[in-house]
Amino acid sequence: MPGELLRVVTAGSVDDGKSTLVGRLLHDAKAVLADQMTAVEVASDRRGYDVADLALLVDGLRAEREQGITIDVAYRYFATPRRTFVLADTPGHVQYTRNTVTGASTADVAVILVDARTGVVDQTRRHAAVAALLRVAHIVLAVNKMDLVDFDEPVFDRIVTDFTSVASSLGLPGFTPIPLAALTGDNVVERSIRMPWYSGPPLLRFLEDVEAREGSDIPARFPVQVVMRPRSAEYPDYRGYGGKVEAGTLRVGDAVTVLPSGRTTSIEGIDTADGALDWAGAGRSVVVRLADNIDLSRGDVIVGAGDPRPVVARQITATLCWLSDRPLRPNDRFLLRHTTRSVRAVVDDIVGRLDITTVTSAVTDVLELNDIGTVRLRIAEPIIADPYALNRSTGALLLVDEASGATMAAGMVVEASA
């Protein structure tokens, strides 16, 4: 049976054949069932296509099918004997870059598509920048449509060279280039016989073998979601804290600090409905009992001993991806969502906007839809934060419009201070 989940995001610009690649992966991995395939064939036929358009497997909304484009993040699921995959397929249009950010936020691997005929374009840089910013652990550069350049090695090499300079300017630690042809299936699931010069794995094999995200090795972070006080006949005095381990490992007996109060205690027990645990690693949903009678509530964080420690912060410098049509300006106010806290926040100033193509920061006093920029935020009550570079879950935040509830920005903590 398959092992752990691997979360993958695919990104590419318009007409890179991304939906076709995803359709091909699902099809060749036998995740497409006969009736779904029949529906695709019927729909392709209705549109006058000669061959089944595998993109129609993925483009689910009426407007997408009518316009032949992908608008929204689509989640796809497939399993091989070796692994289970959650695939976030994100659209390529510039105006939908916010969806790439969404898909990348949970991904272990980003597959960035380029068309072998056009190579690295602005949108490729943008997607690489998003993957770098969101700290996706592994990047695949999928050079698609190799069939249209006669499976030519120098074409592939040139694109890899171009992308290497993009990657180094963004500070990406590395990437895996794969030449493929989604339409014909070369190097998607099966190794291509038409590119003998390529010695690496086909895409699916790479995804099966790549290590899922290494856990962040900082001390434990456990934001309290709910307080468990059943007051039942069976558990009259039970008091535990339900939450998910967001970094490190919690162990029974470990000394911990509770923030923001700063009180210290130790872990008396780690409970689940299936029984007690000796320890719980990152990602596990558990109930924690503490040795001392300390009253915690939602939003408090149980923190393991040792460095680095999180900051009980009222000032945050954060990189934002602006997701709304309404621009951001200094002094705008929001609700800030961070771990299990929601606090009021005001934007003190906009430090700069990142120019994706030149990877430089420019002075600005406004951020518009799809802009990426750095801001300074002041918040009404503290949050318990780490830099995003240290730990995704305790470094990530949302800015929410208080009136409508709309999610306006995705943010990553650069620096937090009291």
Partner 1 sequence: MTSLLNGPPRGDLTDRTWLSDLEDESIHILREVVGQFERPVLLFSGGKDSIVMLHLAAKAFWPGKVPFPVMHVDTGHNFTEVIAFRDEHVERMGVKLVIASVQDAIDSGRVVEIPGQIRNPLQTIPLLDGIAAGRYDAVLGGARRDEEKARAKERIFSVRDDFGQWDPRNQRPELWDLYNGKHRPGEHVRVFPLSNWTELDVWAYIQREGIALPGIYYAHPREVFDRDGMLLAVTEFTPPGADDVVRTEIVRYRTVGDATCTGAVLSDAADVAAVVAEVAAATISERGATRADDRASEAAMEDRKRQGYF
Our CB check for partner 1 shows the closer of 195 and 290 to be 290
Query: Does the CA dihedral 114-167-86-405 come out positive or negative?
Result: negative
Assess contact for 373 and 401: CB atoms under 8 A. no
CB of 57 to partner 1, least distance (A): 8
Q: In angstroms, rounded to a whole number, what is the distance separating the alpha carbons of residues 127 and 113?
A: 9
Assess contact for 286 and 280: CB atoms under 8 A. yes
Element at 235 (helix H, strand E): none
Phi, psi of 236, deg, nearest 5: -65, -35
CB of 90 to partner 1, least distance (A): 11
Q: In angstroms, rounded to a whole number, what is the distance separating the alpha carbons of residues 7 and 39?
A: 27
Tell me which DSSP letter residue 171 carries.
T
CB of 291 to partner 1, least distance (A): 17
CB of 70 to partner 1, least distance (A): 9
Our CB check for partner 1 shows the closer of 175 and 241 to be 241
Our CB check for partner 1 shows the closer of 238 and 314 to be 238
CB of 65 to partner 1, least distance (A): 7
Residue linked to tokens 């699921």: 77
Our CB check for partner 1 shows the closer of 276 and 380 to be 276
Our CB check for partner 1 shows the closer of 232 and 293 to be 232
**Three-state SS for 403?**
coil
CB of 164 to partner 1, least distance (A): 29
How far, CA to CA in Å, does 35 sit from each of 102, 185, 189, 209? 30, 21, 22, 31
Our CB check for partner 1 shows the closer of 25 and 410 to be 410
Helices then strands, each counted (H, E), the chain: 8, 22
